[in-house]
Amino acid sequence: MSATRAIWAAAAAALLLAACGGQGNSNGVTGERIAAADATPGEWLSHGRTYSEQRFSPLDKINASNVGELGLAWSFDLPENRGIEATPLVADGVMYTTSAWSVVRAFDARNGKLLWEHDPEVARATDIKACCDAVNRGVALWGGKVYYGTLDGRLEALDAKTGKLAWSTVTVDQSKPYTITGAPRVVKGKVLIGNGGAEFGVRGYLTAYDAETGKQAWRFYTVPGEQETDGAASDKAMKIARPTWNGEFWKIGGGGTVWDSMAYDPDLDLLYIGVGNGTPWNRELRSPGGGDNLFLSSIVALKPETGEYVWHYQTTPGESWDYTATQHIVLADINIGGQTRKVLMQAPKNGFFYVLDRTNGKLISAEKYVPAVNWASGVDKVTGRPIETAGARYEKNLHLSNPGPLGAHNWHPMAFSPKTGLVYIPAQEIPFPYMQPGGDKATFKYRPQGWNVGVDFLAAGLPDDEATLKAIRASLKGRLIAWDPVTQTEKWSVTYDGPWNGGVLATAGGLVFQGSATGEFAAYDAGSGAKLWGFDTQTGVVAPAMTYEIDGEQYVALMAGFGGGFAVSAGAGVDPRSEGPRRLLVFKLGGKQKLPARPVSTKEFMDLPAASGTPQQIATGTAVYASNCGVCHGASGVSNFSIPDLRYSPTILDADGFKRIVLGGERKEQGMVSFSGLVSDSEAEAVRQYLLDLARRQQAMQAKAKAAAKG
């Protein structure tokens, strides 16, 4: 009997009462209980339900034959008006989840009664350190505590019954641009948490803390530092990594943040982590002369009790495109060539689906899961390295790459069904024009505030005419792909209006659930992809659904609310249907609750003054905006509604008021910090004139469209 099966057998009897769905507390949540989750399928105790992170539920009372009867059981409106990315957890009849700004809530999972709420009061100015919205992906449960990370870098433990703070520890140097958006995991009594910030300039690591006390147990750095050793669990691994780097990379950190995915195999006692991109993205600026730059864009296996390095596999050696390997990691035992293999599967940003032997990290197979991948033609099966396309590294010329930095698959979790043997991937195509600042004579200067990626964002600006904008929007694609990891082929797919759709849930009822950026939550037949049910969420969805059971009744829960990297930085692709309330939605068969009428966008242009900016001034403003503002307020001023769309903002009408905000930090408490160290008075005015010019052109296009509609 395997260790995992023994755990299940020992735990099943002790968990019988929990399986009945009685509301209590999470004092019984342990590693054994998480590992034995299939003995109590009505609960969802860890981020991916089980340590294997398959996001597959054995529940089947909601199935392909009756899913059409699914209706809203209860809902809760969230006041935090930013991206919603969390997966709720359910233990002993209580649901625990997070929303934007790291706010944690507990509900009675039967009826949605709010049991408690904990707001860590993250300073809104922290938003300047967050590449991709003020989001949070959820909590972890262990013993009688609830664990979560805050955007400003704290790891906190709350009492599961009351929500009161049990302990809090700062996990990062808060003077540097670190953030936490990912959900922690707990393995063997240790809470595991990473961080983000590689776009700005930090050194990545994963840390383990004692679940009871919050005391640090070990830390594993993912890239070398200035010194040969750190006195950390990663010291031996850094001897492998350091020879793969060149230059003084440590001065701005090197990157390699562990900002999302983790999985654990109790039988092998191995923890698997995904490592992010480098700082800058461009390797030629980060590590002059080349090098693989370990452990960037790698999957790394560690011993969870000590942080000891075991093996690694690098998906994108010497990465230069923000092709992180932090995307969802799934563990499964599958039959390949007549032999059951213990595999690890990942569909990282770079567009290739990897199947690895998780005992040793050896490559089994890797193939493109989206056809548009053009930075590499394939993966060499002997070396495991990508076969790169000439010019893809944009050393001298612009390269329009697909995927771009948002990836062929981003953080949105995929799911694996042992029943169908298929992996369900929320895939996308979002090309990006990579170009070094200064072209073939690359120039790069570190900025203590703002992004430090070593590419020219001005090249990614949007054109003026509506026809070209429509063509760009049409090139942005989103799909739900059912992928066979054995044959490395697509079995079916669903096409969406655009990218940045939600994470995925698969169930034993033969269903796959996914929400879309345009505001529909749908159920598909897991075998064929046929759409079986849909619900208007009134807002774009990026989070994945989960499911649970209480008193013999199955529920499906979804956190709804558009946001994240694409929403804040690539606003031209945001569908207006993504705008809407942020909500927790819970469904059951025969649910009768109704939502209020869908809100209607009321954005209107102001009366604009006569044009006063010179062509040179507007050109300067265009460049300054692209370098400093676009990553939050959207390319060419086009933003989603949770961050002000500056074309509609009255702030651009008042020159002095605009400078008080941009240079004086007048709205720091709302998240808009001062850019006085990066932008001069004349440049601030140039940005204002650029935004006024954008607003005038947008008004003219809208007037033309209305006139054409009238005939």
Give the residue numbers annotated as catalytic, written as ranges.
Answer: 322
Handedness of CA 254, 258, 260, 265 (dihedral sign): positive
Helix H or strand E segment including 104: strand 104-108
Using an 8 Å Cβ cutoff, are 99 and 138 in contact?
Answer: no
Do the Cβ atoms of 31 and 188 come closer than 8 Å?
A: yes
CA distance 586 to 481: 25
b/e burial code for range 179-207 (CB count within 10 A of at least 16 → b): bbbbbbbbbbbbbbbbbbbbbbbbbbbbb
Give the span between the Cα atoms of 29 and 146, in whole angstroms: 10
Q: Which residue has the tokens 């940003």?
A: 349
In DSSP terms, 209 is beta-bridged to 191, 216
Q: What angle do CA 545, 547, 549 make, to 5 degrees?
A: 160
Helix residue spans in 536-602 (DSSP H)? 565-569
Burial category of 101 from C-beta neighbours within 10 Å (exposed 0-12, middle 13-18, buried 19 and up): buried
Angle 93-48-272 from CA coordinates, rounded to 5°:
140
Cα 567 to its chain centre, rounded Å, is 12
At residue 547, the 3 state secondary structure works out as strand
Q: Treating both helix axes as pointing N-terminal to C-terminal, what angle do 655-662 and 681-710 enclose, rounded to 10 degrees?
A: 120
Q: Is cis: bond before 403, omega within 30 of 0? A: yes
Cβ contacts of residue 421 below 8 Å, gap of 6+? 334, 484, 485, 486
From CA 137, how far away is CA 543, in angstroms rounded? Answer: 8
Using CA atoms, how far residue 310 sits from 233, 365, 686, in Å, is: 12, 21, 53
- Left (φ > 0), alpha (ψ -120 to 50) or beta: where does 500 sit? left
Strands (E), 516-623: 520-525, 531-536, 546-550, 553-560, 582-589
Signed CA dihedral, 630, 634, 636, 639: sign only:
negative
Query: Measured between alpha carbons, how far is 334 from 340 in angstroms, rounded to an integer?
Result: 5
**482: three-class secondary structure by DSSP:** strand
Question: Distance between CA atoms of 206 and 223, rounded to whole angstroms?
Answer: 11
